[in-house]
Amino acid sequence: MLTSSPAEAIDPVDRLIARLYRSGLQIPAGQFREWALAQLARVVPCDGALWGTGTASQLRFHSVTVHGLPPEFPQQLVTTTAINPIIPALLQNLDTPVDMQQVFPDAEFFSSELYRSTFAPYGIHRILSTGHLDRRSGLYSLLTLYRKDRAAPFSEQDKLRQKRAIYHLFNAASHSFFLHLARTYADRPADSAGAVVDATGTFHEAQPRFLDLLDDRLPKREAQRLPFPMPAPGETVAHLDLMVRCERLSDLFLIIIWPAGPLDRLTAREREIVHCVAQGLSFKQAAKKIGVAPSTVANHLYRVYRKLGVYSRTELANLVHPQAGP
């Protein structure tokens, strides 16, 4: 009796999902989406694919990736948004694959202006799309697969595979993005979380923990943007009981937030002195390292003790380097 090998027994979508998460750091951040589309095309055969992310309220993508199609294709797609019946169908059926055949029968589609101007020039005949909305961040994602063979419509199995894979594509891409950022900003607090926004504070990426922290403190916040003013790049400010740091990312901004701890109530100079003292340096040694007078170190340390409610170097050191419990 013939039996399948373990590799053959694993569902192709499961293999795809595992590959997506395992490759988070192996694939350069800027190439992950195109690579992921190529992986999906092996599971749901297609001649081209498009992955767009933006805000649902504007139906405009701030990030678009194509696989197997010319780079100008997304712009051509935008010009016929108003006459494309698959778009409202996607918004009404989030997370469910929608076949163009469902909303535009072949007899009408292949004689339409939409087909002639947008799809015929690229040899596209079959279209399968899925839309996803993250209601907490307001981010809308669209993933569409295209086939050039009119005689090869997408099957029910194709639709099921796309439906199972799409959530993991979106989450693996975001996970990979923040993994790469963590390498760059290795000094961020251990309990912090990040989001990427534009100059208006509108989300382009957001970690689930980032949204959790906001929802806990600002449950009635607007979904699509930061619920507080954005600090200047390089600055850290307090908002409620959160610390908020901003770093520039090309023409975007990385916002890092974390629950405020005792040391966050100190000034930058006070934190500098605290770290020196916690390392066991004397006032004179700390003053030399920082470049100030020993009396300045003593004065700052006196204010630190009052702010933090501590009375000795040992208590202060335990705040900086908490001792592990039993």
Return the pLDDT at 147. 98
Residue-wise pLDDT tens digits, 219-251: 999 889 999 999 999 998 989 999 999 999 999
Of the candidate ranges 4-8, 72-76, 237-241, the one whose mean pLDDT is the lowest:
4-8
Domain containing residue 219: CATH number? 3.40.1840
Output the pLDDT for position 5: 52
The angle subtended at Cα 20 by Cα 86 and Cα 168, nearest 5°, is 45
Same domain, 229 and 92: no
User: Tokens 């009408």 sit at which residue?
Assistant: 108
What angle is formed at CA 190 by the lines to CA 186 and CA 196, rounded to 5 degrees? 65
Claim to verify: residue 99 and residue 237 sit in the same structural domain: no
Q: Torsion angle, CA of 16/20/26/32, rounded to 10 degrees? A: 110
Average pLDDT over the chain, rounded to an integer: 90
Cβ of 117: how many Cβ atoms within 10 Å? Answer: 13
Cα–Cα distance, 223 to 260 (Å, whole number): 23
Angle between helix axes 156-184 and 32-43 (nearest 10 degrees) is 160
Residues 140 and 206 in one domain: no
312 is written with which tokens?
A: 């000795």
d(CA 33, CA 172): 9
Question: How many structural domains compose the chain?
Answer: 3
Q: Which domain holds residue 197?
A: 193-260
Give yes or no for a contact between 254 and 234, defined as CB atoms under 8 angstroms apart: no
Q: How far apart are CA 162 and CA 128, in angstroms?
A: 9
Three-class secondary structure of residue 167 per DSSP = helix
Asked whether the predicted pLDDT for residue 8 surpasses 80, the reply is: no
Question: Secondary structure of the chain: what % helix, strand, coil (to 5)?
Answer: 45, 20, 35
Pairing outcome for strands 48-55 and 60-67: antiparallel
Using the 3D structure, point to which of 149, 182, 215 is the last residue of a domain: 182
Instruction: List phi, psi (to 5°) of 193.
Output: -145, 155
Q: What is residue 269's predicted lDDT score, i.e. its pLDDT?
A: 86
Tell me, yes or no, whether 83 lies in a domain.
Answer: yes
The answer to whether residue 214 scores a pLDDT higher than 60 is yes
pLDDT tens digit string along 171-208? 999 999 999 998 888 778 888 999 999 999 999 999 99
278 and 238 inside one domain? no
Cα distance between the two ends of the chain: 56
State the pLDDT at residue 309. Answer: 81
d(Cα 197, Cα 226) in Å, to the nearest integer? 8
Task: Give pLDDT tens digits for 121-163.
Answer: 999 999 999 999 999 999 999 999 999 999 999 999 999 999 9
279-282-285 Cα angle (round to 5): 90
Q: How confident is the model at residue 326 (pLDDT cuts 50, 70, 90)?
A: very low
Highest mean pLDDT out of 224-238, 261-275, 311-325: 224-238
Can you name the residues that pair with 133 across neighbouring β-strands?
Answer: 140
Residue 313 lies in a domain: yes
Angle among Cα 167, 168, 172 to the nearest 5 degrees reads: 130
Q: Is the pLDDT of residue 1 over 80?
A: no
Q: Residue 228 has what DSSP assignment?
A: S
Give the DSSP H or E segment for 252.
strand 252-259
174 and 241 fall within a common domain:
no
Cα separation of 131 and 90, whole Å? 6
On whether both 40 and 66 belong to a single domain, the answer is: yes
Residues 143 and 207 in one domain: no
Report yes or no: 139 and 203 within 8 Å, Cβ to Cβ.
yes
- Whose CA is closest to 137, among 204, 61, 194? 204
Considering the domain architecture, whether residues 236 and 97 belong to the same structural domain is answered as no
- The pTM score is 0.81
Look up the CATH number of the domain holding residue 154: 3.30.450.80
The residue from 260, 290, 305 where one domain ends is: 260
Name the pLDDT band for 6 (thresholds 50, 70, 90).
low
Q: Helix 12-22 vs helix 156-184: angle between axes, to the nearest 10 degrees?
A: 10
Alpha carbon distance 294, 211 (integer Å): 44
